[in-house]
A = this chain, B = another copy of it.
Amino acid sequence: MSDISNMVRAKVLIDALPYIQQYYEKIVVIKYGGNAMTNEKLKQAVMSDIVLLSLVGIKVVLVHGGGPEISDTLKKMGKETEFINGLRYTDAETADIVRMVLAGKVNKDLVSLLQEHKGNAIGICGIDGGMIKASRFNGEVDLGYVGEIEDINPEPILKLLKDGYIPVIATVATGENGEVYNINADTAAARIAAELGAENLILMTDIKGLLREKDDESTLIPVVNVSEVPYLKKQGTISGGMIPKIDCCVEAVRRGVKRTFIIDGRTPHSILIELLSNDGIGTMFI
C-alpha cells in the first residue's frame, strides 16, 4: 500500500473536508470495547484514529470497559465469581478489584498508547472530581456492587477537553457512602454523551451493525429512527445482546445526542471511516 498515488492521497484528504467541518469543535464520545480492545493491531488503529480526530479539532472522549483483564486479575487473585440466576454477583472486594483493574490497568494502558501516538490524554474514572454518582442497581436480583447512575457531573471532562486533553474514562463510580460501584460502560457512555451535549456517540461492537436478516451482513440497516426501535424489537430484528446496546443508543438520542452509531470494531479504522467519509459503516440511530 506504500504506492498510494498523490492524486489518491489528495482526493481522500479533500473528501474528508466536509466531515471535518461538520464535527469541528464538536464532542464525540466513543465507547471502546470488544475485539478492537483485545486485538493488538486493531487497538493501534483505534488509537491513531482518536489522535487524528482530536487533531482535526474534534473533541473525542474515550469511554472504556474492562475486557478480559478483569477476569484475568480476579482469577490470578483467586477471587471466585459467584453467580446468581446466571448473573455475576459483585461483592465489595470484587468491586474494589474491578476498579483497580479498570482505573489502574486498562485506563493507563490506553493513556500510554495514546501518548505514544502523540495524543495528549489524561485518564480518570467516575470517582475523580465526583464525576459519576451511583446507587445499587435495583433489579430483580441483587447483583451486589453493580451501580445504577444517579448523577453525572460533566465538569471534569469539559475542563480536560478545554485544557486540550483527550479524556479517557473508566466507568467506576462512588455511592452515597463512598462505596465503589462498577457501571456498565455502554450505559455510562450514553449518559456521559448526553450530559456533554455530544454530537455523536459511537459504540464499538463485534458485529457489523443491525442486520435485517441475522447472519447476512448484506442486509445491514444503515439508519434507524429511534421511534422504530420498539417495532424492531417486537419483530425480533433487535434481540439478545443487541437489546441493551440499542437501548443505550435510544437513551442517548432521547437525551439530546444528535446521532449514535453501532459500528464494527473488527474493521480497522472503522471510527475514522464512519466519521470522515461518506461510507457509513454500521448502523446509525437518530
Contact = CB atoms under 8 A, between A and B. Distances in A.
Interface secondary structure of A, over-half rule:
helix
Contact of A277 (B9, B14, B159): B9
A116 interface: yes
B52 A115 contact: no
Contact of A276 (B13, B101, B125, B273): B13
Interface string A167-203: 0000010100010100000000000000000000000
Interface residues of A, number: 73
Contacts of A178: 112-113, 116
A111 B127 contact: yes
Contact of A1 (B8, B16, B24, B273): B8
A249 interface: no
Nearest to A117: B17
Contacts of A18: 118
Interface in A1-60: 1, 4, 6-18, 20-21, 24, 45, 48-49, 51-52, 55-57
Nearest to A113: B178
Interface in A151-165: 156, 159, 163, 165
A281 B88 CA distance: 51
Interface in A262-286: 267-269, 272-273, 276-277, 279, 281
Contacts of A76: 76-78
Given A101-B104, A122-B124, A4 B13 contact: no
Contact of A20 (B21, B56, B276): B56
A4 B11 contact: yes
A124 B160 CA distance: 12
Contacts of A121: 128-129
Nearest to A98: B104
A108 interface: yes
A210 B108 CA distance: 38
Contacts of A123: 124, 127-128
Interface of A: 1, 4, 6-18, 20-21, 24, 45, 48-49, 51-52, 55-57, 73, 76-78, 96, 99-105, 107-108, 111-113, 115-116, 118, 120-125, 127-130, 156, 159, 163, 165, 172, 174, 178, 180, 267-269, 272-273, 276-277, 279, 281
6 contacts: A17-B118, A20-B56, A21-B55, A100-B104, A101-B104, A120-B130
Given A9-B16, A14-B269, A78-B78, 14 more contacts: A4-B12, A6-B267, A9-B269, A10-B49, A10-B272, A21-B118, A55-B57, A77-B77, A100-B104, A100-B108, A104-B105, A112-B180, A116-B178, A156-B165
